[in-house]
Amino acid sequence: MEYTVRVANEQDLPAIIELFEISLGTEYGAPTESFWRWKHINNPFGESPVLLAFDGEKLIGLRAFMRWQWQYKGKVLPAFRAVDTGTHPDYRGKGIFSRLTKQLIAELKESEPPSFIYNTPNNASKPGYLKMGWQVLGKPVVFGSLTLQHSRYAMLRFERFQEALQALDFNALPSDYSLDVNQGLIHVNHSLDYYKWRYQSIPEIPYGSYRYEGSEGEILLFFHLKNRKYFHELRISDALWLSGKPQRQLLMQAAHKLAARLGTPFISLVSKDPVNLWERINYRMFSLQKLAPELTVREVNSQELLALVSDINNWSFTMGDLELF
């Protein structure tokens, strides 16, 4: 079939939201205008490249890559996260998704500095990505921890931590904070502006913050609760060490203290190190590797960069880096 393709602009936003509502439904992931603006326009890493397909004046397809930045040994690695896509139900099976994806990559190949694309596709979409040149990177180290805490009021208690995050003055935080990543490996190009955008400014998805001071230092957690039918999972998205040397013992102390205040029986987070026997016993920790998201990567315009990012042993993640939003 014949259709036209062009770059999206801000005036297309009402039609973009309408397409998502038609293709996904408001109850199954269609974004609101405020969320789209936050994600694709106000992103501190830059505005997302978006291609639209039209049948006459009718919007029938969309493909968006969200700009991202990773860092390696002090050098910024520009990247794109393959995220939102939509096809009008009347036009499915006509190759629109594939064409828009390939065309967007071709345009970025000519216009961007050395960069790469990554994402965490599900089992249904992964074969299509592999056919278009993506390759499997692997799974991060994800683990769980049982807390022996439970309250049906966990979500209600969570509200005070949402309020704490909204009241958080990022400019007042120590400038010499440390990250919960191995800074000698590839990690997100974190900054306080990034944390403010990612957790405080995000619409619709509720996050909270919790500041904990122990004998070994002070830590700030960014987290949210995930509904697991009979209980709420405490998901630690990111952690900043405001003082002291980063160590998992302090992180787990803070997470378990927070879980007790919320009444959440289960904690999940990403680790840069394997779980040892002492942690398995004292924090009831165990691997969630089978449930971890699988990452895939693709070159945009640099085989040298692709060689670096194609080894998952070169990466250091947090849960917030991997969450779908």
User: What would the pLDDT profile of 140-158 be if each residue is shown by its tens digit?
Assistant: 999 999 999 999 999 999 9
Beta-sheet pairing, 208-214 with 217-227: antiparallel
| Token digits of residue 260 | 């007790």
How many whole angstroms separate alpha carbon 204 and alpha carbon 245? 34
Query: Residue 28 has what pLDDT?
Result: 62
User: Same domain for 126 and 188?
Assistant: no
How many whole angstroms separate alpha carbon 285 and alpha carbon 298? 33
User: Same domain for 167 and 114?
Assistant: no
Query: Residue 2 has what pLDDT?
Result: 87
> 250 in a domain, yes or no?
yes
User: Same domain for 162 and 268?
Assistant: yes
How many whole angstroms separate alpha carbon 186 and alpha carbon 137? 13
User: Same domain for 116 and 155?
Assistant: no
| Token digits of residue 218 | 């002070």
Q: Of 225, 291, 212, 209, give the one whose Cα is nearest residue 252.
A: 212
Confidence of residue 26 (pLDDT cuts 50, 70, 90): low
Query: Residue 17 has what pLDDT?
Result: 95
Q: Look at residue 206 and tell me whether its pLDDT is greater than 70.
A: yes
Confidence of residue 163 (pLDDT cuts 50, 70, 90): very high
Domain that holds residue 44: 4-137+294-317
**315 secondary structure, DSSP code:** B
Confidence of residue 307 (pLDDT cuts 50, 70, 90): very high
Q: Look at residue 25 and tell me whether its pLDDT is greater than 80.
A: no
**For 113-126, how does the pLDDT look when each residue is reduced to its tens digit (9 = 90+)?**
999 999 999 888 99
Give the residue-averaged pLDDT of 195-203.
97
% residues pLDDT > 70 (the chain): 99
User: Same domain for 276 and 197?
Assistant: yes
Is the model more confident about 223 or about 124?
Answer: 223
Q: How many domains does the chain have?
A: 2
How many whole angstroms separate alpha carbon 311 and alpha carbon 315? 8
Query: Residue 27 has what pLDDT?
Result: 63
Phi, psi of 21 (to 5 degrees): -65, -35
**For 230-265, how does the pLDDT look when each residue is reduced to its tens digit (9 = 90+)?**
899 999 999 999 999 888 999 999 999 999 999 999
